[in-house]
Chain A
Amino acid sequence: MATIKKTAIVIGAGTGGYPCAIRLGQLGIDAMLVEKGEPGGVCLNVGCIPSKALISATKLAHKAQHAESMGITFGQASVDMKAMQEWKGGIVRKLTSGVQGLVKGAGTEYRQATAKLLGPKRVELTYDDGRPSDVVEAEHIVVATGSVPIQIPGFELDQKRIVDSTGALALDRVPESMIVIGGGYIGLELGQTFQRVGTKLTVVEGLDRILATMDKELGTLVARQIKADGGEIITGAMAKSWTERDGKAVVTIEAGGESREIEAEVVLVAVGRRPVSKGLGLEEAGVKVDERGFIPVDERLQTNVPGIYATGDVVGQPMLAHKATHEAEVVAEVIAGKKTINDARVIPAVVFTEPEIATAGLSKDEAEAKGYTVEVGKFPFSALGRAMAIDETKGFVKIVIDAEDERVLGVSIVGPEASNLICEAALGIEMGAYAPDIGLTIHPHPTLGEAMMEAAKHAVGEAVHIPNRKKR
């Protein structure tokens, strides 16, 4: 067993880890990045990127089937899921190997090993190939171990009949039917992915609506689309158990006090994710972990133990890659002695459902709960030339402003390219922009981005393409 001295060690090469390792290298810190699986974490391997690949491919197929109004008809789309998976795999490989290259290029050592804390400054590395383990002594330890899908009792994963998001992303066929347990963004993104290429989709949600954590108006459009594409949404329902029958999973659900059976070829369990904080030696090192498994950190991402930091999903909601990356970069600067803190005021969220959803800042209800008097500006894509020209007119841009001084408090978008459009809102809010800052900025025509400008104008009663509210 060798003892290796490093200034910093980063555990986990996901989006909460590898950017930290790269930044540490750039800042001249002698650091090591340790990962037991593949570099890139959930995001690159079994999350954001592969799902977006499948989503874009199936959207293309779906759109091709719905182009009659544009005067184009294709034959029935033929989907070779194996080929699609290979294409997706190529993207993942390119990105993950790119991560390793970036880490090494920055001068940070990369090791594939399983890490365990032995104390506040010591980490043990064990290797799959049976090599003797090593101990790394480091002044700074960054825990970026991420999260895994939550499993529910009675639905043991076999990744064939009962799958989680990882299994769903690896399906090499288009299932004839799919039950998604959990109406959150992961279940809906993946469920709609297969629905677009012919899978009969049933969503089982425990609460009274899908996307329950978001503004109601946003989820409504997604629910409408799922139904329009022939799917079913059962709300207020709990999945209790399942059995195999005639090559199908028969799932017993309870809804409204009644028990009923629904069947599908594949059941996707997507009820949320839990942090990975067990078995890491955190207790031994004295690091506090809360009852849900999250590691509490301060604004510098430091845990209760000086010199031990945590980033990404393991520190809490929202479990988003871009939040993790920002935290990772903050930690690297903190370790380098800079006075950086995580003081981001807005963490945008994007959901790749059909239509897409994106939010930044406060919703109307949240703003009012915080004591703001708000005005809301809203612009529907149905009134936007570009949206008509791409035949995607569902949805709107909604902007919530402080009625006192017109400062932008939050933006929510549902509709085409919502994920890309939200960036402007995030910058605006982070910069402290006022609605006229956005409204008076000339937005190029004809673009979807004009909807943001129009919504900002609408918020102050100056929209030109839709009627304005009556002045108070």
Chain B
Amino acid sequence: MPDFKLPAIGEGVVEGEIVRWLKQPGDHVAANEGLVEVMTDKATVEIPSPVNAVVERHVVAEGAVAEVGEVIAILGEASASASSSSSPRSPARSSRPAPSGPPSASPTMVSATVDDEGGSAPRDPATGRVLATPAARALARERGIDLGAVSGRQGRITKAEVIAAETAPRLTAPVSPPPARPESLPSRIGTVTPVTAPIDVPRPGSASTPPVPRRIAGEPVPDEHIPFRGMRRRIAEGMSKSFFTAVHYTYVEQIDVSALMKIRAQAKQAAADEGVKLSYLPFIMKAVILALKKFPIVNAVLDEQAGHITVKKRYSIGIATATDQGLMVPVVHDADRLSLLDIGREITRVSDAARAFKASREELTGSTFTITSLGTIGGVLATPILNYPEVGILGVHAIRKTPVVDENDQIVIGHLMNLSVSLDHRVVDGFEGASFLQEVKRYLEDPTLLLLAGI
């Protein structure tokens, strides 16, 4: 019965989080068929089975972190006598409770969800085991609830808390992609949610009866508990690290991009002929790189332990990208050595790869500065969180028609775009930070400079 160990996923990768088991105990898996999704620093990779086999059991449960070389599953021989035919395929991971199989059927293997690492549950500091009462453990196992995601208020998880966690409708792993964009963003204050509940419309003639607000009968809808694992956990860890380490400050400027718009409109067609959908982003990236070259301290990393600031000589620009599973930052490497056209091509390629979860580890690491484009959503300003340990991140907002005063003191229609740059004040002082953004502005307002700067 071969042990399936977490293989080496990439250089320097020592551990990975089990995001999703693609094969459940009892399932047959062909050689080279995907067995498990594992997430390393940022990339989620699908690891195939090396052999033709039947999954005996999962040793490491979803949401837990395994070290490279650690046994994560036991594979059995794919013999004809395997009792997989009758095995009820209720997955080991937390999902809706599956009905028990018929007594004669081979029962499903259950992974030791109780012992998962991570999550919000109280744990034994020495062993990492979830602290839960026996009744709570048994119920959680029977109902397929991941105890690691249940919070125990009294230092241990009780049965009542498992019941509470179960009755809350849970978000299952995002297998099918949700709508491309949420209908209402939480950050939009004052968004009116359409009323979906039926409204009791008073009929004519019954006007004398004062309208009484009526509630639909039934149990109150319980809160939703989304498992805190996988991408979400990585993002949270990264953001916390950044937010609580770097000293963020944000500086905002308005850019008149009227000239840039004209150039872009002309270049767009030419680029399309080359198969590139040219957005404003390549221009902005180009301007950022030129500004970084003038203010190299913004293209740096603080290494406190080593006692120095590393000023990067590569200009690899991360592109914050919304994916179904959350924020990812694919990278356009050595963007300073690429033409506008090539930058455009590369942005499309890496961000498409990220959205499809096909980006390589290389394509998701190594950025030296990050751009987050909020233009399609709108907004006036933002306070972007640094892509730690980088010291600068640029937020790009929508271009809006705005009355501006031209050089002849005439009020004309200008096309204004706001840029919000967040910087790490430990490294970049206000003077450099502001000057950096002014330099970006200079290039974007007079794109001729961009052209003169060449590649």
In the bound complex, do residue A336 and residue B83 qualify as a contact, i.e. CB atoms below 8 Å apart? Answer: no
Tell me whether B266 is interfacial, beta carbon within 8 Å.
Answer: no
In the bound complex, do residue A336 and residue B106 qualify as a contact, i.e. CB atoms below 8 Å apart? Answer: no
Return the contact of B142 from the options A139, A306, A335, A340 (Cβ within 8 A): A340
Collect the chain A residues with CB atoms within 8 Å of residue B127's CB: 370
Tell me whether B247 is interfacial, beta carbon within 8 Å.
Answer: no
Tell me whether A291 is interfacial, beta carbon within 8 Å.
Answer: no
Closest to A334 in B: B107
Closest to A288 in B: B1
Q: How would residues 387 to 406 of chain A score, 1 for a CB under 8 Å from any chain B CB and 0 otherwise?
A: 00000000000000010110
Q: Is the interface of B mostly helix, strand, loop or mixed?
A: loop
In the bound complex, do residue B81 and residue A120 qualify as a contact, i.e. CB atoms below 8 Å apart? Answer: yes
In the bound complex, do residue B155 and residue A343 qualify as a contact, i.e. CB atoms below 8 Å apart? Answer: no
Tell me whether A434 is interfacial, beta carbon within 8 Å.
Answer: yes
Closest to A120 in B: B81
- Taking the nearest CB of chain A, how far is it from the CB of B258, in angstroms? 64
A321-340: which have CB < 8 Å to B?
334-340
Collect the chain A residues with CB atoms within 8 Å of residue B122's CB: 432
If A299-B112, A307-B106, A339-B108 touch, whether A432 touches B138 (CB-CB below 8 Å) is no
Tell me whether A378 is interfacial, beta carbon within 8 Å.
Answer: no
Closest to A404 in B: B125
Tell me whether A279 is interfacial, beta carbon within 8 Å.
Answer: no
In the bound complex, do residue A335 and residue B103 qualify as a contact, i.e. CB atoms below 8 Å apart? Answer: yes
Tell me whether B277 is interfacial, beta carbon within 8 Å.
Answer: no
Collect the chain A residues with CB atoms within 8 Å of residue B81's CB: 120
- Taking the nearest CB of chain B, how far is it from the CB of A155, in angstroms? 40
B88-141: which have CB < 8 Å to A?
88, 90, 100-110, 112, 114, 122, 124-127, 129, 131-134, 137-138, 141
In the bound complex, do residue B137 and residue A343 qualify as a contact, i.e. CB atoms below 8 Å apart? Answer: yes
Cα A230 to Cα B367 with chains together (Å): 81
In the bound complex, do residue A370 and residue B126 qualify as a contact, i.e. CB atoms below 8 Å apart? Answer: yes
Tell me whether A371 is interfacial, beta carbon within 8 Å.
Answer: yes
If A336-B100, A337-B100, A338-B142 touch, whether A431 touches B134 (CB-CB below 8 Å) is yes
Collect the chain B residues with CB atoms within 8 Å of residue A170's CB: none
In the bound complex, do residue B83 and residue A306 qualify as a contact, i.e. CB atoms below 8 Å apart? Answer: yes
Tell me whether A304 is interfacial, beta carbon within 8 Å.
Answer: yes
- Taking the nearest CB of chain A, how far is it from the CB of B382, in angstroms? 41
In the bound complex, do residue B108 and residue A430 qualify as a contact, i.e. CB atoms below 8 Å apart? Answer: no
Cα A166 to Cα B121 with chains together (Å): 48
Collect the chain A residues with CB atoms within 8 Å of residue B142's CB: 338-340
Collect the chain A residues with CB atoms within 8 Å of residue B124's CB: 407
In the bound complex, do residue B141 and residue A341 qualify as a contact, i.e. CB atoms below 8 Å apart? Answer: yes
In the bound complex, do residue A343 and residue B126 qualify as a contact, i.e. CB atoms below 8 Å apart? Answer: no
Q: How would residues 281 to 304 of chain A score, 1 for a CB under 8 Å from any chain B CB and 0 otherwise?
A: 000000000000000001110001
If A300-B109, A432-B156 touch, whether A337 touches B101 (CB-CB below 8 Å) is yes
Collect the chain A residues with CB atoms within 8 Å of residue B83's CB: 306-307
- Taking the nearest CB of chain A, how far is it from the CB of B166, in angstroms? 14
Closest to B156 in A: A432
Return the contact of A27 from the options B103, B106, B125, B144 (Cβ within 8 A): B103
In the bound complex, do residue B103 and residue A337 qualify as a contact, i.e. CB atoms below 8 Å apart? Answer: yes
Q: How would residues 18 to 39 of chain B score, 1 for a CB under 8 Å from any chain A CB and 0 otherwise?
A: 0000000000000000000000
Tell me whether A222 is interfacial, beta carbon within 8 Å.
Answer: no
Number of interface residues of A (CB under 8 A): 34
Tell me whether B71 is interfacial, beta carbon within 8 Å.
Answer: no
- Taking the nearest CB of chain A, how far is it from the CB of B56, in angstroms? 8
Cα A7 to Cα B156 with chains together (Å): 38
Collect the chain B residues with CB atoms within 8 Å of residue A344's CB: 134
Tell me whether A269 is interfacial, beta carbon within 8 Å.
Answer: no
Collect the chain B residues with CB atoms within 8 Å of residue A334's CB: 107
If A337-B101, A343-B137 touch, whether A405 touches B1 (CB-CB below 8 Å) is no
Max count, chain B CB within 10 A of own CB: residue among A344, A404, A407:
A407
In the bound complex, do residue A298 and residue B57 qualify as a contact, i.e. CB atoms below 8 Å apart? Answer: yes
Collect the chain B residues with CB atoms within 8 Å of residue A405's CB: 155
Cα A430 to Cα B137 with chains together (Å): 10
Closest to B143 in A: A339
In the bound complex, do residue B134 and residue A430 qualify as a contact, i.e. CB atoms below 8 Å apart? Answer: yes
In the bound complex, do residue B107 and residue A337 qualify as a contact, i.e. CB atoms below 8 Å apart? Answer: yes
- Taking the nearest CB of chain B, how far is it from the CB of A309, in angstroms? 11
Cα A350 to Cα B124 with chains together (Å): 26
- Taking the nearest CB of chain B, how far is it from the CB of A186, in angstroms? 29
In the bound complex, do residue A306 and residue B155 qualify as a contact, i.e. CB atoms below 8 Å apart? Answer: no
- Taking the nearest CB of chain B, how far is it from the CB of A6, in angstroms? 10
Collect the chain A residues with CB atoms within 8 Å of residue B57's CB: 298
Cα A402 to Cα B156 with chains together (Å): 15
In the bound complex, do residue A371 and residue B126 qualify as a contact, i.e. CB atoms below 8 Å apart? Answer: yes
If A120-B81, A370-B126, A431-B133 touch, whether A339 touches B110 (CB-CB below 8 Å) is yes
Cα A29 to Cα B105 with chains together (Å): 11
Tell me whether B76 is interfacial, beta carbon within 8 Å.
Answer: yes
In the bound complex, do residue B76 and residue A306 qualify as a contact, i.e. CB atoms below 8 Å apart? Answer: yes
Cα A337 to Cα B88 with chains together (Å): 9
Closest to A344 in B: B134
If A29-B103, A304-B1 touch, whether A432 touches B155 (CB-CB below 8 Å) is yes
Closest to B56 in A: A306
Max count, chain B CB within 10 A of own CB: residue among A28, A334, A338, A372:
A338
Tell me whether B271 is interfacial, beta carbon within 8 Å.
Answer: no
Max count, chain B CB within 10 A of own CB: residue among A139, A343, A344, A404:
A343
In the bound complex, do residue B76 and residue A343 qualify as a contact, i.e. CB atoms below 8 Å apart? Answer: no
Max count, chain B CB within 10 A of own CB: residue among A336, A372, A432:
A432
In the bound complex, do residue B156 and residue A337 qualify as a contact, i.e. CB atoms below 8 Å apart? Answer: no
Collect the chain A residues with CB atoms within 8 Å of residue B129's CB: 345
In the bound complex, do residue A372 and residue B126 qualify as a contact, i.e. CB atoms below 8 Å apart? Answer: yes
Closest to B102 in A: A337
In the bound complex, do residue A432 and residue B131 qualify as a contact, i.e. CB atoms below 8 Å apart? Answer: yes
- Taking the nearest CB of chain B, how far is it from the CB of A347, in angstroms? 13
Tell me whether B82 is interfacial, beta carbon within 8 Å.
Answer: yes
In the bound complex, do residue A432 and residue B103 qualify as a contact, i.e. CB atoms below 8 Å apart? Answer: no
A174-209: which have CB < 8 Å to B?
none
Cα A29 to Cα B100 with chains together (Å): 14
Collect the chain B residues with CB atoms within 8 Å of residue A298's CB: 57
In the bound complex, do residue A338 and residue B104 qualify as a contact, i.e. CB atoms below 8 Å apart? Answer: no
- Taking the nearest CB of chain A, how far is it from the CB of B72, in angstroms? 15
Collect the chain B residues with CB atoms within 8 Å of residue A28's CB: 103
- Taking the nearest CB of chain A, how far is it from the CB of B81, in angstroms? 7
Q: List 30 A-B contacts (CB under 8 A).
A: A7-B103, A7-B104, A28-B103, A139-B104, A139-B106, A299-B110, A300-B110, A306-B83, A337-B88, A337-B100, A337-B101, A337-B102, A337-B103, A337-B105, A337-B107, A338-B142, A339-B142, A339-B144, A340-B141, A341-B141, A343-B137, A371-B126, A372-B126, A402-B126, A407-B124, A407-B155, A432-B122, A432-B132, A432-B133, A434-B155
Given contacts A28-B103, A306-B106, A335-B107, 6 further A-B contacts (CB under 8 A): A300-B109, A307-B83, A336-B107, A337-B88, A345-B129, A370-B126
Q: Which residues of A are in contact with B by a Cβ distance under 8 Å? A: 7, 27-29, 120, 139, 298-300, 304, 306-307, 334-341, 343-345, 370-372, 402, 404-405, 407, 430-432, 434
> Top 3 A-B pairs ranked by shortest CB distance?
A432-B156, A337-B101, A432-B131
